């Protein structure tokens, strides 16, 4: 509970700092504040409590995901200082929006009520619409903001319709009472329909196929830092909410939608992977690979009756830190070369061997090669899927991870086998710190996965 309140308060503080003319201090305050909140969050471990008539429910699941989201938030905030250096007058606005987004994400992992769930989704989405369109004078950014807004509000509408139907059937927004209803009464058609609409809304938010069309354009058009934010914090929060919602009260409807979910998972993995193959733009490639990662995570949702929270959490951690590492290196490279294409990475292996090695590790981790964190993420998801009887789906997923290797290695190839005349890249300390911490975590979790794999 503290986590959510303090984060919102920190966001307000950032806005107020603008008035008090504390622009220079705002970044350290935000980072420090988030670190302190991370500490409060850890202190909540092992508590099980509901607040405000169960609007917010704190349990180990919410604490674990809050911790992950806060960590990713800290990384993004650290990167933001340099990323917005040309717009110093607006830094407090940006930071405030980033932190508000984070509070929305935190609400999404700790809700105990449909109203809170919807509130979380909206706080998260509306802040992201603004961030996506934040480069006012760039057409691509405007397009991204507009597209994201139109598609996102459409999805929110469907989601809300679903919630209304559920309310009509069960007479409550409270997850506990909905669960009690499903235990007592055989779910009616309207209930199942409501779950279906929520499902569509959530699939939209996590950019699963065939609801993924907004993602590549929005990811590519948005400023890279926002893309990193959307690809990690927003996607993980949406997945955590998806899992929480379905595991706590819609578990009865999973069988009715099993084939839909299976089809969506397969489609998402295949479309994400095969479209990523032909991309020249690094951001766009990561966007499509993010779609395929959503597909792998859907395997975890599909088998959630077998309690796959651990697998989903571990996968999210591995995906989150690997993506942050990749995106921060992409930002550094793009700032120096002015290009977001894969060719921009040419010759990085000679010019900046450590940076190239870091990106190689991030890519290998995303491709799921041991001994990096991403491998265990995939391993846990696959083994849960097999345990719950989805052998066929797992084989499709495995074949697709091979395809994944192809485009991840394309970047590695560019770094090591091609040359370029671009000048040597300068690295800001904040970026070095974030990249070093991410790589250290990827290695640590790859060698000692037990640190996190039994948390939940």
Chain residues that interact with other proteins, rule: CB under 8 A: 364, 369-371, 375, 379, 382-383, 386-387, 391, 394-395, 398-399, 401-402, 405-406, 409, 413, 416-417, 448-450, 453-454
Q: Which two tokens stand for residue 410?
A: 């394309």
Beta carbon of residue 175, minimum distance to other proteins (angstroms, whole number): 28
Query: Which two tokens mark 419?
Result: 């040359």
Residues forming a β-bridge with 57: 50
**Least distance (Å) between residue 183 CB and other proteins:** 29
d(CA 272, CA 292): 4
Question: Measured at the alpha carbon of residue 440, what is the angle toward residues 439 and 443, in degrees to the nearest 5?
Answer: 85
Q: Taking the complex as a whole, how short is the minimal distance between the CB of residue 401 and other proteins, in angstroms?
A: 6
Nearer to other proteins, 159 or 393 (CB): 393
How many whole angstroms separate alpha carbon 74 and alpha carbon 403?
Answer: 32
Closest CB 293 distance from other proteins, rounded Å: 16
Residue indicated by tokens 């997850």: 175
- Picking from 327, 330, 408, 333, the residue whose alpha carbon sits closest to that of residue 363 is 408
Q: CA-CA distances (angstroms) from residue 49 to 56, 70, 71, 400? A: 8, 20, 23, 41
* Residue with smaller CB distance to other proteins, 237 or 364: 364
Close Cβ partners of 313 (under 8 Å, ≥ 6 residues apart): 61, 64, 65, 68, 452, 455, 456
Nearest-approach distance from CB 456 to other proteins, in angstroms? 11
Least CB distance from residue 399 to other proteins, whole Å?
A: 8
For residue 47 the two structure tokens come to 């508590």
Indicate the residue among 280 and 419 with the shorter CB distance to other proteins. 419
Nearer to other proteins, 212 or 390 (CB): 390
Which one, 120 or 374, has the nearer CB to other proteins?
A: 374
Q: How far is the CB of 152 from other proteins (least distance, A)?
A: 36
- Nearest distance, CB of residue 165 and other proteins, angstroms: 38
| CB nearer to other proteins: pick between 154 and 416 | 416
Q: Radius of gyration (Cα) for the chain, nearest Å?
A: 21
Query: Token pair 């800290």 is at which residue?
Result: 74
> Which is nearer to other proteins, 282 or 382 (by Cβ)?
382
The span from the CA of 54 to the CA of 27, in Å, is: 34
* Residue 66 or 394 with smaller CB distance to other proteins: 394
CA torsion sign for 217, 223, 228, 229 is negative
If the CB atoms of residues 29 and 413 are measured against other proteins, the closer one turns out to be 413
| Token representation of residue 238 | 């949406």
Comparing CB distances to other proteins, the nearer of 42 and 399 is 399
- Nearer to other proteins among residue 13 and residue 359 (C-beta): 359
DSSP letter assigned to residue 111: B
Hunting for tokens 């010019």 — which residue is that? 351
Q: How far apart are CA 127 and CA 6, in angstroms?
A: 18
* Closer of 43 and 399 to other proteins (Cβ): 399
* Residues 6 or more apart whose Cβ sits within 8 Å of residue 140: 220, 221
Alpha-carbon distance values, 126 to 43, 121, 352 (Å): 30, 8, 38
Q: In the complex, what is the shortest distance from the CB of residue 404 to other proteins, in angstroms, rounded to a whole number?
A: 10
Q: Is the dihedral of CA 313, 370, 289, 35 positive or negative?
A: positive
Q: How far is 324 from 306, CA to CA, in rounded Å?
A: 30
In angstroms, give the least distance from the CB of 245 to other proteins.
26
Euclidean distance between CA atoms 232 and 238, whole angstroms? 10
Find out whether 201 and 156 touch, Cβ atoms under 8 Å: yes
| CB of residue 65 to other proteins, shortest distance in Å | 19
CB of 436 to other proteins, least distance (A): 17
């Amino acid at each position: 509970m503290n986590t959510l309140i303090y984060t919102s308060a920190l966001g307000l503080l950032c806005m107020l700092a603008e008035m008090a003319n504390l622009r220079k201090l705002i970044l350290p305050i935000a980072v420090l504040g988030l670190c302190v909140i991370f500490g409060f969050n850890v202190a909540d471990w092992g508590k099980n409590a509901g607040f405000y008539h169960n609007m917010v429910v704190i349990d180990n699941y919410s604490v674990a995901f809050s911790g992950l989201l806060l960590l990713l938030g800290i990384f993004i905030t650290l990167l933001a200082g340099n990323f917005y250096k040309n717009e110093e007058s607006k830094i407090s606005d940006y930071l405030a929006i980033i932190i508000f987004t984070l509070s929305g994400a935190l609400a999404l992992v700790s809700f105990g009520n449909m109203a809170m769930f919807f509130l979380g989704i909206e706080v998260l989405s509306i802040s992201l619409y603004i961030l996506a369109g934040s480069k006012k004078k760039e057409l691509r950014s405007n397009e991204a903001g507009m597209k994201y807004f139109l598609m996102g509000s459409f999805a929110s509408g469907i989601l809300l319709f679903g919630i209304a139907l559920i309310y009509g059937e069960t007479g409550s927004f409270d997850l506990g009472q909905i669960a009690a209803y499903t235990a007592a009464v055989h779910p009616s058609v309207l209930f199942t329909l409501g779950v279906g609409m929520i499902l569509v809304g959530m699939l939209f938010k996590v950019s699963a196929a065939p609801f993924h069309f907004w993602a590549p354009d929005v990811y590519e058009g948005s400023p890279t830092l926002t893309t990193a934010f959307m690809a990690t914090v927003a996607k993980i929060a949406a997945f955590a909410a998806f899992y929480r919602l379905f595991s706590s009260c819609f578990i009865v409807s999973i069988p009715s939608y099993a084939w839909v979910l299976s089809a969506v998972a397969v489609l998402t993995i295949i479309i994400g992977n095969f479209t990523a193959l032909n991309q020249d733009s690094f951001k766009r490639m990561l966007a499509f690979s993010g779609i395929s990662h959503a597909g792998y995570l859907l395997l975890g949702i599909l088998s959630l009756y077998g309690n796959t929270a651990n697998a989903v959490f571990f996968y999210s951690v591995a995906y989150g830190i690997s993506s942050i590492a990749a995106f921060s290196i992409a930002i550094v490279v793009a700032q120096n070369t002015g290009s977001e294409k894969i060719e921009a990475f040419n010759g990085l292996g000679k010019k900046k061997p450590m940076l190239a090695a870091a990106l190689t590790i991030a890519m290998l981790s995303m491709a799921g090669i041991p001994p990096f964190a991403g491998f265990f993420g995939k391993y846990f998801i696959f083994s849960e899927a097999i345990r719950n009887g989805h052998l066929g789906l797992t084989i499709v997923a495995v074949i697709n991870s091979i395809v994944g290797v192809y485009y991840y290695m394309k970047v590695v190839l560019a770094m090591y086998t091609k040359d370029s005349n671009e000048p040597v890249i300068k690295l800001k300390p904040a970026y070095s710190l974030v990249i070093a911490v991410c790589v250290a975590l990827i290695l640590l979790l790859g060698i000692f996965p037990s640190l996190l794999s039994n948390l939940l």
